[in-house]
Amino acid sequence: MKTTTENKSGNWAWRVLKWLAIIVPILLVVIYLGVGAVVATNLSTPKRDFSPDKLVSMQSLTYQDVRFPSRGSDAQIAGWFMPNSNSNRAVILVHGKDVSRAAEFAGKFIDLGTALERGGFNVLMIDLRGHGQSSDAQFSFGLNERRDVEGAVDWLKGQGFKSGSIGVLGVSLGAASSIGATADDTDIGALVEDSGFASFCPILQAQWGNASGLPDIFLPSSLFMNRVMYGYDLCASRPVDEIGRIARVRC
């Protein structure tokens, strides 16, 4: 027969076990989502690669520093406009991830802009949100950045350029952004994409370990927390689908 002390000890141990059964899963979920939040922030924060010291090649050019809102005005975009008074055509140059209009192509993006201006185009080189001298933002791999390209189109139209006379050349992240903008906006008459991707999620899945240093189990929590904190689903970035929309609209 158990004593009163033994009964009390057993009841206390049972209560502890019940509380642990409740608290431990909650704590594990909090840790799981917390790690996801940290990783989502770290992996979606752009690096700014823009130094005036690198702009020696700009000193001999005729250009204007410009600022304008993205379409929807959720970001302020910085750019250079190289006018060509003998042309009514314009090209928007859009850099890739973690660089800028000054740093793309190992600093040779400016040379490309210069060559296009001398070849008969007005040239607008922009910094995507979160990059260069544009306003802060997280990566969305073209989902939001397309509005920066569309804002550049709006700015050019405000300078008198007509629908269909504006082209876009994008690299990597800039390619995804340019594809999305061209799919959305029929004012863009030509598109060149360099080193773009078809769909972002398979790339993230394949490179998850190297990019995050974590096992695959943390990928779902990072994607989930990215949606919670920043409001977009990275797996929705699928330029391959939007290429088809461009073809249908233009043909």
pLDDT band of residue 58 (cuts 50, 70, 90) is: low
Bigger pLDDT: 60 vs 127: 127
pLDDT band of residue 6 (cuts 50, 70, 90) is: low
> Once rounded to an integer, what is the mean pLDDT over residues 139-157?
97
By percentage, how much of the chain surpasses pLDDT 90? 75
Other beta carbons less than 10 A from residue 150's beta carbon: 23
pTM comes to 0.88
3-state class (DSSP) for residue 54 = helix
The domain limits of the chain are 4-43+202-227, 52-196
Report the alpha-carbon angle 231-99-92, nearest 5: 85
The domain 52-196 is classified under which CATH number: 3.40.50.1820, 3.30.450.20, 3.30.450.40, 3.40.50.720? Answer: 3.40.50.1820
Other beta carbons less than 10 A from residue 77's beta carbon: 27
Report yes or no: 133 and 127 within 8 Å, Cβ to Cβ: yes
